[in-house]
Amino acid sequence: MTVKDAETDQEFGYEIIRDYVLSEVLGQHEADILYWAGKSLARKFPLFAMEEAPDFFSQANFGQLSLEKAGKDETTYTLHPNKIENRCFKLEAGFLAEQKQKVGGFLTEAYEEVFPKKNFVRITLKTDLREKA
């Protein structure tokens, strides 16, 4: 087996769990549970700054993350995942929301928009500057 084969096998294993096992086990609650799991994952793997998020996403095999726009109470990221078809991106959204909340100190939630034809996901973080975390 070559190095490339090993990488392909790891991605395949990840995709089986992510796209088939989790959706089967979680059923209709998949989106809610994955969002919560993303927030929990962020607490287990805290970032010191949001600039670290793209490296984490790459290492976690979530895809290529880039900052699209940063404002006072709204931040937008673009995610180019390895696979986009039939996938829920609530895990990634929850992860970013929790990291932003921890780093910024204010209540933050996220939502995602999937653009399958363009092969990217837009994740928007909304921060409530009136609510301390």
- Is the predicted pLDDT of residue 6 greater than 60, yes or no? no
Identify the pLDDT of residue 4: 54
Instruction: Quote the pTM value.
Output: 0.90
Identify the pLDDT of residue 9: 67
Please, which pLDDT band fits residue 93 given cuts at 50, 70 and 90? very high
**SS3 labels along the chain:** CCHHHHHHHHHHHHHHHHHHHHHHHHHHHHHHHHHHHHHHHHHHCCCCCHHHHHHHHHHCCCCEEEEEEECCCEEEEEEECCCCCCCCCHHHHHHHHHHHHHHHCEEEEEEEEEECCCCEEEEEEEEEEEEEC
Identify the pLDDT of residue 37: 97
| Per-residue pLDDT tens digits for 19-34 | 889 889 999 999 999 9
Of 8 and 51, the structure prediction assigns the larger pLDDT to 51
- Is the predicted pLDDT of residue 49 greater than 70, yes or no? yes
Domain span including residue 28: 3-132
The domain tally of the chain equals 1
Of 22 and 103, the structure prediction assigns the larger pLDDT to 103
- Is the predicted pLDDT of residue 3 greater than 60, yes or no? no
CATH of the domain at 71: 3.30.1380.20
Please, which pLDDT band fits residue 1 given cuts at 50, 70 and 90? very low
When pLDDT is averaged across residues 104-124 and rounded to a whole number, the result is 97
